[in-house]
Structure 1
Amino acid sequence: MAVSGRARALYQRIADKIRVEITDGSLGPGARLPTEAEIANEWHTTRSTAVQGLKVLVNEGLIISDRPRGYFVRSRRPMVYRPQGEFRKRPLSPEMDQFLMQMAEEGREASQHIEVKVEAPTRQIRERLQLQEGELVAVRRRVRFIDGVPYNTNDSHFPLSLVQNSEIMNPDDIARGANVVIAELGYEQVRALDEFHVRMPTPEEADRLHLGPGTPVTVHLCTGFTHDGKPVRAVVNVLPGDRHVITYERSREQLGGHPTIRQACEQDLCTVVDLWEHAASWLRDRGIDQWQYPPHEDRIRANISAGECWIVDVDQVPVATITVDEHADPDFWTETEAAESALYVHRMVVRRDVAGLDLGSAMLDWASNRAASQGKAWLRLDAWRSNDSLQSYYGSRGFTHVRTVDAEGRSSGALFQRLAGHLRGLGPDLRGAAGD
């Protein structure tokens, strides 16, 4: 038997009805609501109950009270806030900063009020800038307006010792940007750490931004770092929830630096094992039984010693590995095939956070080129018999299925080959590391 919940209070039901009318568009932005007396009459209740219901919607930020005119649906025309736009080139017009140009492009009138102060940092800013107790910061405080309404605040904090006597200390717009100024001082920022906190505003924030009841804010805290990891700027942006849409644009196509391939050395044994175990864990999570046993470290060590194991690095971080040798596994390849000139691929692994960038295809092209340069006829490999998707992958990379061998005690045995020197041209170009 279903148990009904406690009946909602009348003022809550009044708020529920009006909320539905706002969300379904029956009451559009700027629409005037019925008066307190009209609502009380409609619901056969007291005026104080009607007021209580309206206050619920005020606190939710859906309506505003504009006495003596009445209650109105809050108009929302959000600003698109793009944190990733910070490192884009500045606009060419000297009289407009990036914010002003963005608003002009959207047909809106923008302005800002700037002041500069020297002060002791809060604990939050001191930690982000790694300052010692007693160190001061220069703060560029900005309130940004759109169509005369304060939309957000932007407070940039710099260690005073870095920016004293620079343009940053002037309470004027810097057309080329404070980031450029601090770079000219020898502290170019090459990366930023973004943190987002959603909460209700402090009284000071509500005052600066003219916020009514029930308006949450998103606080975007951005810390900028130089090449050597020194934090030189901490920005606190306060964004009212009813005035902003935060938009990020991301791409999987960027690896950072160009991938390079190098011979693994003795110190890379743990790296190869870690990559192998990472792949085994990923396969296990997807119910694939491939590689569900401890890696054969003795074989990996032997491949490394023989110069047959290779590592792919991006920005000096290992992201993939491949082993190529002349060993034709007698469990799989016939004596006649073993007598043919070929290179054999083993233990090809790509870290999952760079999957989808076709590093595997790039490594197979690299191995194919290597086979051709050594005068080999074939590039060959054996794949797990039960891993159909892996076999399809090799087929799509120009490999021909030779046959499948059911060798006792072996789970691999789907044999593939392609002509040495045959390239698919997929994925990034692998460049040899210095000395390889």
Structure 2
Amino acid sequence: MAVRGRARALYQRIADEIRDQIMDGTLGADARLPTEGEIASKWETTRSTAVQGLKVLVNEGLIVSDRPRGYFVRSRRPMVYRPQGEFRKRPLSPEMDAFLTQMSEEGREAGQQIDVAVETPNTQVSERLQLGPDELVVVRRRIRFVDGVPYNTNDSHFPLALVQSSEIMRPNDIARGANVVLAELGCEQVRALDEIHVRMPTPAEADRLQLGPGTPVAVHLCTGYTQDGKPVRTVVNVLPGDRHVITYERIRPQLGTEPTIRLAKERDLPIVVELWEHAASWLRERSIDQWQYAPHEDRIRANIAADECWIVEVDRAPVATITVDQHADSDFWDQDEAAEPALYVHRMVVRRDVAGLDLGSAMLDWASLAAAAQGMTWLRLDAWRTNDGLQTYYSDRGFTHVRTVEAEGRSSGALFQRPAGHVRGVGPEIHDAEAP
């Protein structure tokens, strides 16, 4: 039962009870509701109050009136609408486009009606296609039917000057898809901008889609662009809310471009600090005590001044940082070890939204190659003593655990090293690196 915070009129309470029964499945699709008289008797009220409550549900699109038979729960069998299917390969069948194929696979009878017209575009389309004041568009209007019911409209708008000599002008299904036709015209769509608006339908839309009262629509506006950013197609899809489930499949992308690495400059101090604090916050949320103190900005500043601090960028955005130097920490490494040529890794941080792509492994490979280029024997680091997961991480990446040192006032001290020049070759290749 829904929680309602203030007193409601009796007709609203009647609607609330029936709505709850529909939502929890007590009243299923096509179920017949009690009559107006039965509802009035149950609630000890007038027939007009019962009718008023039922009208609320009619206007919400939950029930339909079928006089003289009575009121029934509206049957809903929504179609799964997948905007991301725009660029998928299409079946090369002259009888069926992607929509018809989808419906056939779901065991439903599908059809469509196609009309083509040359028109002056409305402001909405003209702005998205960046058209001049006198430019016309070709509109391919489609009504799509499922089991004999109009399920949605799909109106595709193209600049007339672009498509006037193509089959887009003909009111027939394009088996290979309009996207392929545009590519053949030298205007391949490589990206699309999707906009989704939810509102009540216009009278024309309600008539075209045979919508009952209280049925909202989602309007999906999709504008397709070529590689050079030219808009070549705007599609207006009108989707009745009782007939669709809009489904997006999102796949986590790999890095947008291959990462590059550069020396941090004085102006980059806030970036390095922010990356460090981001990592510290993530560790804190997992009850790991590592780095639970304010970053030592003086040390970071000194590393930057000494050309020892580096920033990794993807699409010009900083996503990671690493500091490498030749200074053996006397709290951890003994005199004999300090005398060996080695490069030491400090403060390696990878932003969490690119975690899992082995960028850290790639950074260690980069540091290892840099160490070898400078004639070093080892790539070394000291890890947090209580962070077992981090120590496993380094072991899995070819580092050998030398020993663990407990220095007073220091929480680090798990010492690791691997030969300079050793690389795993896992993760993205880091470019434009200057040997530190």
Instruction: Give the alignment's TM-score, normalised by structure 2.
Output: 0.84
Give the CA deviation at 1:50.
1.3
Give the CA deviation at 1:136.
2.5
**SS class of match (1:337):** helix
Give the CA deviation at 1:108.
0.7
Cα separation, 2, equivalents of 1:215 and 1:292 = 59
- What residue identity is the alignment partner of 1:213? P
1:280/1:292 contact within 8 Å kept:
no
Q: Which runs of 5+ in 2 are unaligned?
A: 285-291
Cα separation, 2, equivalents of 1:134 and 1:223 = 20
Q: Which runs of 5+ in 1 are unaligned?
A: none
1:326/1:343 contact within 8 Å kept:
yes
Output one character per residue of 1:225-259: Cα deviation in whole Å (capped at 9) or x when no partner: 211222222222111111111112122253345x2
**SS class of match (1:227):** coil
Corresponding residue of 2:293: 289
Cα separation, 1, equivalents of 2:303 and 2:434 = 25
1:218/1:240 contact within 8 Å kept:
yes
Residues 1:355 and 1:431: Cα distance change in structure 2 (over 3 Å): closer
Residues 1:223 and 1:419: Cα distance change in structure 2 (over 3 Å): same
Output one character per residue of 1:63-113: Cα deviation in whole Å (capped at 9) or x when no partner: 111223221111111111111111111113232111111111111111111
Which of 273, 276, 280 matches 2:272?
A: 276
Output one character per residue of 1:300-324: Cα deviation in whole Å (capped at 9) or x when no partner: 3642xxxx76665556766444454
Residues 1:394 and 1:434: Cα distance change in structure 2 (over 3 Å): closer
1:201 pairs with 2:201? yes
Matches within 5 A, 1:29-428: 29-252=29-252, 254-257=254-257, 259-261=258-260, 264=262, 269=265, 273=269, 275-283=271-279, 285=281, 288-289=292-293, 291=295, 293=297, 296=300, 299-300=303-304, 302-303=306-307, 312=312, 314=314, 319-329=319-329, 333-371=333-371, 376-382=376-382, 393-394=393-394, 397-399=397-399, 400=401, 402-404=403-405, 406=407, 413-414=412-413, 416-420=415-419, 426=426, 428=427
Give the CA deviation at 1:373.
6.6
Residues 1:383 and 1:240: Cα distance change in structure 2 (over 3 Å): same
**SS class of match (1:91):** coil
- What residue identity is the alignment partner of 1:39? I
1:275/1:349 contact within 8 Å kept:
no
1:395/1:401 contact within 8 Å kept:
no
- What residue identity is the alignment partner of 2:76? R
Output one character per residue of 1:97-139: Cα deviation in whole Å (capped at 9) or x when no partner: 1111111111111111112222233322223222333332222
Residues 1:334 and 1:121: Cα distance change in structure 2 (over 3 Å): farther
Give the CA deviation at 1:298.
6.2
1:84/1:248 contact within 8 Å kept:
yes
- What residue identity is the alignment partner of 1:89? K
Cα separation, 1, equivalents of 2:128 and 2:201 = 21
- What residue identity is the alignment partner of 2:416? Q
Cα separation, 1, equivalents of 2:311 and 2:210 = 57
Give the CA deviation at 1:171.
1.7
1:271/1:318 contact within 8 Å kept:
no
1:332/1:407 contact within 8 Å kept:
no
Give the CA deviation at 1:401.
6.3
Residues 1:199 and 1:160: Cα distance change in structure 2 (over 3 Å): same
- What residue identity is the alignment partner of 2:354? V
- 383-392 vs 285-294, greater mean Cα deviation: 383-392
Cα separation, 2, equivalents of 1:354 and 1:255 = 7
- What residue identity is the alignment partner of 1:230? K
Percent identity of paired positions between Structure 1 and Structure 2: 68
Instruction: Give the alignment's TM-score, normalised by structure 1.
Output: 0.84
Give the CA deviation at 1:220.
1.5
Cα separation, 2, equivalents of 1:271 and 1:117 = 58
Q: What RMSD, in angstroms, separates the aligned Cα atoms of the two structures?
A: 3.3
2:385/2:404 contact within 8 Å kept:
no
Aligned length: 422
Cα separation, 2, equivalents of 1:85 and 1:201 = 25
2:198/2:216 contact within 8 Å kept:
yes
Cα separation, 1, equivalents of 2:169 and 2:210 = 27
Cα separation, 2, equivalents of 1:373 and 1:32 = 81
Residues 1:148 and 1:277: Cα distance change in structure 2 (over 3 Å): farther
Give the CA deviation at 1:419.
1.6
Cα separation, 1, equivalents of 2:151 and 2:245 = 12
**SS class of match (1:368):** helix
- What residue identity is the alignment partner of 1:300? I
